Homo-oligomer: A and B are copies of this chain.
């Protein structure tokens, strides 16, 4: 670790609800080393974030005190240091100006990134961490456009001039879990391989009937009941319906544009399929965008020597 650490210029922490990733970053914004643990804010014993922090990055900072920047739910009410929100539109310079400084028990300086808020028709929206990822992605050559971060609370962001112009959150992932686990819709579902057929039927229904979701959800019961789809297809049918409804709303501003999908694995695959059903092309963001976001904000703040 000492050999790589010699070029190190910054430590970035992506500290979320269920996981914690730390990046050792050089002065070009490249990742020298990376540690990932399950110590998300909900999993830290006794909420001793200070101990979890020193455990994780102790080896990197003992000899060379490096600037540390942290983003994600660690800055929420349930986290370590609660930070305010900046209002969209906002870019790396806006975030750099309002970093919240903090000293750990061992005297290590940490700069906490603020959250970002948007308002639509009088109702606020919130995020913590996604703004840093997207600023990194835009800086890595992906540029302006529409970004989607699929998940428990999916985010759709509009990026302009490298900053966040606007965004909306969708309850898609959490709604799927609640419907599958805690309503009658789950009772006709059988687990199995991913059913692309069921998923596509759902996407089409979600895309065309987004305004009628309370009604179309009931079809997740009736379609297997009438054997129009199999029980093995039902969960993917629901998944497709919700993602289709999300895309119908999230992509309503896109004329013929491309959507950048942030994330990997099964869920990103589903969004790729659903976006193509909706007539949109898509691409994947690389996995190291968060570290790059930390680097960009830290650089704007003059933290790098």
Are the CB atoms of B184 and A174 closer together than 8 Å? yes
In the assembled complex, A223 has its CB within 8 A of some CB on chain B: yes
Are the CB atoms of A226 and B124 closer together than 8 Å? yes
CA A169 – CA B183 in complex, angstroms?
A: 15
Are the CB atoms of A249 and B174 closer together than 8 Å? no
Partner of A124, one of B121, B123, B223: B223
Count of interface residues, chain A, beta-carbon cutoff 8 Å = 46
Partner of A170, one of B172, B215, B221: B215
Partner of A213, one of B121, B214, B223: B214
Interface centre among A121, A169, A182, A215 (most CB of B within 10 A): A215
CA A216 – CA B175 in complex, angstroms?
A: 13
Interface centre among A181, A185, A211, A221 (most CB of B within 10 A): A211
In the assembled complex, A217 has its CB within 8 A of some CB on chain B: yes
Which residue on B lies nearest to A210, using beta carbons?
B211
In the assembled complex, A126 has its CB within 8 A of some CB on chain B: yes
CA A272 – CA B175 in complex, angstroms?
A: 27
CA A177 – CA B249 in complex, angstroms?
A: 24
Which residue on B lies nearest to A154, using beta carbons?
B214
Which residue on B lies nearest to A125, using beta carbons?
B222
CA A249 – CA B218 in complex, angstroms?
A: 14
Q: Do A222 and B182 contact each other (CB < 8 Å), given the known contacts A242-B214, A249-B211?
A: no
Are the CB atoms of A222 and B126 closer together than 8 Å? yes
Q: Do A123 and B172 contact each other (CB < 8 Å), given the known contacts A178-B179, A248-B211?
A: no
How many subunits of this chain does the assembly comprise?
Answer: 2
Are the CB atoms of B153 and A171 closer together than 8 Å? no
Interface string of A149-185 (1 = CB under 8 A from B): 0000100000000000000111110110111011111
In the assembled complex, A56 has its CB within 8 A of some CB on chain B: no
In the assembled complex, A4 has its CB within 8 A of some CB on chain B: no
In the assembled complex, A131 has its CB within 8 A of some CB on chain B: no
Are the CB atoms of B249 and A175 closer together than 8 Å? no
Give chain B residues whose Cβ lies under 8 Å from the Cβ of A153: 218
CA A122 – CA B219 in complex, angstroms?
A: 10
CA A124 – CA B215 in complex, angstroms?
A: 11
Interface string of A108-129 (1 = CB under 8 A from B): 0000000000000111111000
CA A212 – CA B253 in complex, angstroms?
A: 13
Are the CB atoms of B217 and A124 closer together than 8 Å? no
A-B pairs with beta carbons under 8 Å apart, 14 shown: A121-B209, A122-B228, A123-B219, A124-B223, A124-B228, A126-B225, A170-B214, A171-B214, A172-B214, A178-B178, A178-B183, A210-B212, A213-B213, A214-B242
- Chain A to chain B: the 4 pairs with minimum beta-carbon distance, closest first: A211-B211, A123-B219, A170-B214, A178-B178
Q: Which residues of A contact B (CB under 8 A)?
A: 121-126, 153, 168-172, 174-175, 177-179, 181-185, 205, 208-219, 221-223, 225-226, 228, 242, 245-246, 248-249
